[in-house]
Structure 1
Amino acid sequence: MTSEINDDEPLLRVSGLSKFYGARVGCEDVSFELWPGEVLAVVGESGSGKTTLLNCLATRLIPSSGNVSYRMRDAEMRDIYRLSEAERRFLMRTDWGFVHQNPADGLRMTVSAGANVGERLMAVGERNYGSIRGTATDWLGRVEIAADRVDDEPRAFSGGMRQRLQIARNLVTHPRLVFMDEPTGGLDVSVQARLLDLLRGLVADLGLSAIVVTHDLAVARLLSHRMMVMKDGRVIEHGLTDRVLDDPHAPYTQLLVSSILQV
């Protein structure tokens, strides 16, 4: 890692974040801090507000109120909504990653696997073709895609391979913060298990901070250190993942956990 960040300070600070769509609540009064190397899971049923929150944090949506500050590589805490459009785009291409539930949303489907990974390297100033191709091939190996597929287009890949390619594309620049929106959604159980194992290893190896939105409590337990439970746009429980899942305090969280156990 090339970060100069002080691990004694949060990487992301969220205060009173709300997003309204007219009279409808997307998310309301959400506050938390995310620390370097920490993985936070945001869980809840469909419509709970977790995806709205994620999109606000990733500047894909502008909130109605509240503040989100990010500690830049120079250690300065900046309000992400006051960054220029160019600064935000640069952040998304370099220091941040975003893993979509549908990998087609996070890949260029008509260029090669190697080019998908290489584009991120070019965004951080890499210009040597041989170096870019070598790094791309190495990263394909890290996400269990054979080197001889480097020139294949993602549309020739299975869903699981596309998701692993999207992960490689996001992580190749060693971002410090990765947003993940249902990263195992739509995959069959055996593919999910393999992908989760891969993700957990990469996050730990790279010391990444991540915010993972999921409705799957097993995903939250496997990947995250801390967990927020959302209902109707509000955070109703927040704590260490094992504590929340093993000793849920809020009735809604108890219901979520018991319904999983009864399946």
Structure 2
Amino acid sequence: MTDEPLLRVNSLSKFYGSRVGCENISFDLWPGEVLAVVGESGSGKTTLLNCLSTRLMPTSGAVSYRMRDGVFRDLYRMSEAERRFLMRTDWGFVHQNPADGLRMTVSAGANVGERLMAVGDRHYGNIRATAVDWLSRVEIAEDRIDDEPRAFSGGMRQRLQIARNLVTGPRLVFMDEPTGGLDVSVQARLLDLLRGLVTDLGLAAIVVTHDLAVARLLSQRMMVMKDGHVVETGLTDRVLDDPRAPYTQLLVSSILQV
């Protein structure tokens, strides 16, 4: 176990003209740790996630990532090609809408296989066997491997997107409302599956959600955002059971009253 974080975020800010996307965010993320970023719509959590995953360039601040050789690199000083390679290999990004994270016109097996080819696997038999294994891990039957994602239900598409992201053994996964838009029963199964995979693989993850139940189930640590600022942070159970910031208290009590 390393005594260094995987990700270091220092005074990160993103402004859209005079409007605050997120401002002065700092934290470390450790290997194997799951951090939930919660808040209402417009709180800045998705802006933060997009900056961390280099999909959006921040206005100021720095994000450093510890590469597999142990060296920290400033993500925004990397070349575009280096960042793209990181996204295809060492990172995963699970979108709320699985169609944003899948190629809808190629087969389920090809969706998983593309990630393997990105890390240099060229043996068709091995790629297909690994795809079959990963589809089974996300509860998709082997006989669906040649079906296109558009023939799948929303829950199956989301599970396929998870398989596509995890097949290369990434060290860090970003998740943007991973259960949003799914039926409650489908959400529960997907959360169960995600929690198992994250634990088994020792993944570090940053999960953006407005659902406190998702945060409690998946994360060890929580960051609460409002109007682009962090208003409270701490261990997930502590924040939910003993919220200190008035806004967090409001969030928690509004959920309990439902």
Normalised by the length of structure 1, the TM-score is 0.98
1:228 paired residue among 217, 220, 223: 223
CA distance in 1, matches of 2:118, 2:220: 31
Structure 2 residue 211 is matched with structure 1 residue 216: yes
Among the aligned pairs, what percent are the same residue? 87
**SS at the partner of 2:198?**
helix
The aligned residue for residue 70 of structure 1 is 65
**SS at the partner of 1:162?**
helix
1:188 paired residue among 174, 183, 189: 183
Give the letter aligned to residue 132 of structure 1: I
Structure 2 residue 145 is matched with structure 1 residue 141: no
Deviation at residue 94 of structure 1 after TM alignment: 0.1
Deviation at residue 259 of structure 1 after TM alignment: 0.3
**SS at the partner of 1:183?**
coil
The aligned residue for residue 85 of structure 2 is 90
For residues 34-83 of structure 1, the C-alpha deviation after alignment (integer angstroms, 9 at most, x for no partner) is 00000000000000000000000000000000000000000000000001
Deviation at residue 214 of structure 1 after TM alignment: 0.1
The aligned residue for residue 3 of structure 1 is none
Deviation at residue 258 of structure 1 after TM alignment: 0.3
1:255 paired residue among 226, 245, 250: 250
CA distance in 2, matches of 1:51, 1:132: 33
Structure 2 residue 184 is matched with structure 1 residue 197: no
Structure 2 residue 15 is matched with structure 1 residue 13: no
For residues 66-118 of structure 1, the C-alpha deviation after alignment (integer angstroms, 9 at most, x for no partner) is 00000000000000000111100000000000000000000000000000000
CA distance in 2, matches of 1:255, 1:89: 39
CA distance in 1, matches of 2:199, 2:6: 17
Structure 2 residue 124 is matched with structure 1 residue 124: no
CA distance in 1, matches of 2:49, 2:214: 17
**SS at the partner of 1:32?**
strand
The aligned residue for residue 240 of structure 1 is 235
**SS at the partner of 2:41?**
coil
The aligned residue for residue 98 of structure 2 is 103
- State how 1:13-52 maps to structure 2 within 5 Å: 13-52=8-47
Runs of 4 or more, structure 1, over 6 Å off, are none
Give the letter aligned to residue 219 of structure 1: V
**SS at the partner of 1:164?**
helix
CA distance in 1, matches of 2:48, 2:2: 24
Deviation at residue 200 of structure 1 after TM alignment: 0.1
Give the letter aligned to residue 96 of structure 2: Q
The aligned residue for residue 163 of structure 2 is 168
CA distance in 1, matches of 2:201, 2:91: 13
Residue ranges of structure 1 left out of the alignment (5+ in a row): 1-5
| Number of residues of Structure 1 aligned to a counterpart in Structure 2 | 258
CA distance in 1, matches of 2:252, 2:183: 22
Residue ranges of structure 2 left out of the alignment (5+ in a row): none
Please give the root-mean-square deviation of Cα atoms over the aligned residues, in Å: 0.4
Deviation at residue 7 of structure 1 after TM alignment: 2.0
